[in-house]
Amino acid sequence: MPSSNPDIVITEFMDRAAVDRLSAAHDTLYDPGLVDRPKAIPALLRLARALVVRNRTRVTDDLLAAGSGLRIVGRLGVGLDNIDVAACQARSVAVAPAAGANDVSVAEYVIAMALHLLRGAYGSNDAMITGAWPRTALIGREVAGKTMGLVGYGAIARQVASRARALGMAIAAFDPYLDPGDPALRGVRCCRDLTELLAVADVVSLHVPLTGGTRKLINGEAMASMRPGAVLINAARGGVVDEAALADALRRGQVAGAALDVFETEPLSAEAAAVFEGCPNLVLTPHIAGLTDESNDRVGTVIADAVLAALAEESTV
């Protein structure tokens, strides 16, 4: 049992084997419910040297001040928008994301949603059980010959691209931070701006962090630029899509379908979800694109390694 002054505090769910590795080496408090009791966290950090979180625990300067002995924040994932990285740097607290550990899981989610949204035939159970036979109503489209449009072309987007190519799709990408001559863009239509990408993509998949520049990047104006019949997938960050504008575009048929795994409000409340009521060809999932048995194992291993290494290094100083 951990003491009331643990060395490592884990506030969200983590692979059990990784937790056991940390517990074997250090006094570790593992309480995945802490994320929903944020006021309890500061007191637990009084003597802690490591904090491990996912995407919902807010690591603010005030929280860091409560854990003045912190040496590392492990992020069970890749996005850092819930962590004040500048405050961590100012306090000499290392930030360790699980870079690359869930890339495959997210890429497979995107491909699965592309197949689902373009085909549009996988939600027929209720009709079939009543004895209906909606065969002609469920004629969908193949992904072969279509264009996968990637907004952002980092590691996960590249995993999506390789799988999309295997299905016969062309690849277009918009990433203003990549040199058009980058070898990773070989065979990719490199779009000058978002408008050009939206005009050519049959599937638009988002792979950008949430920043001031990307908040509501996909708004009503952007959706009006999308190709007729195009679908949208967001497994990146909530807030990148204007949810009210998307709901309106889906109801009007301006966007042919969408899959959202991330939301402006997480967990998605009934009040926030009400905007999507009655939207056709819409898939909503609870931020699980990067969560598979395999990715959880990899993520846990990467973060346990980082935390153990950081604490071992401090012990030798």
Find out whether 131 and 156 touch, Cβ atoms under 8 Å. no
Q: Which is the catalytic residue, given 26, 71, 75, 287?
A: 287
Give how far Cα 19 sits from Cα of 52, 80, 112, 266, 284, Å. Answer: 10, 21, 31, 25, 30
Residue type, 24: A
User: Is 266 labeled as catalytic in the residue annotation?
Assistant: yes
Question: For this structure, is 314 an active site residue?
Answer: no
**C-beta of residue 5 within 8 angstroms of C-beta of residue 46:** yes
User: Which residue in 12, 237, 243, 298 is the catalytic one?
Assistant: 237
32 within 8 A of 15, measured Cβ to Cβ: no
**Which residues are the active-site residues?**
237, 266, 287
